Amino acid sequence: MQRDDLLILIHKALRHGLLQVTQEAGATDWDDPESVEALHRRWDTVAGLIRSHASHEDRYIFALLETKQPGVTQLLGIGHDRVEAELDALDDLFDAAFAAPDPSRGHDAYLALTRFAATALAHFADEEPAVMDRIWATCTDEEIAVCRVAFMAEITPEESLATAELMIPATSHQERAQVIGAARASAPPAMFQTILDVAARTLSPSQLAALHARLDEQAPSLATAR
């Protein structure tokens, strides 16, 4: 049986968000307040999700590994010091650009964002196999499930929704059916409907049809609203 992967889905969502905001920053017209405001909202969302995820890793996922082998985070070289230092510096540049928008400040922030995206993408790619291989080798499925429940309990409805916006278009048919099927089983009906609305907005017609076919296969008696 396939074991729970605590990182792959959220990392796909964050990669999509980072690449999307990087493209949007390059396309922003810094003389147009509406264009700047749209980038501001997108950047705050993506930066907030990256910080939140790193905090979950530090306090729950790496903490679980540390109970098995003290010092393992440092041993694997998976800490967040570099990513967080670059993110803080980038936030300062964006704050300055959003406070007094002009093309020069905007370009400085854009270049720094491209560097940060490279750092973060490399970090995710190094961290994902290093952490999950160690988790699977040293933790039981029950310990992994308790860890997931603990950090999921901290996620607000707003953060869930922002994550769904990035995760649904960034994952495979199978993964998104698994995520949305889990939401149907556990989230309030209004939240589940909101997630279906996100899918309808972010997927192509063929992706959406495949999703509904898989959801119907999972629970034919619970035909989903289209």
Q: Which is nearer to Fe ion, 10 or 25 (CB)?
A: 10
Q: Which is nearer to Fe ion, 89 or 209 (CB)?
A: 89
C-alpha separations of 152 from 85, 115, 178, 215 in Å: 25, 30, 16, 22
Total of chain residues touching Fe ion, rule CB under 5 A: 2
Q: How far is the CB of 114 from Fe ion (least distance, A)?
A: 20
Residues 141-180, one symbol each (x = binds Fe ion by CB under 5 A, - = not), give ----------------------------------------
Q: How far is the CB of 81 from Fe ion (least distance, A)?
A: 11
The answer to whether 57 touches 80, Cβ cutoff 8 Å, is yes
Of 61-69, 123-131, 179-187, 207-215, the window that binds Fe ion (rule: CB under 5 A) is 123-131
Q: Which is nearer to Fe ion, 80 or 212 (CB)?
A: 80
H-assigned helices in the chain: 8-27, 33-56, 62-68, 72-76, 81-99, 103-138, 141-152, 157-170, 173-186, 189-202, 205-218
Q: Which is nearer to Fe ion, 40 or 136 (CB)?
A: 136
Residues of this chain that bind Fe ion (CB under 5 A) = 57, 127
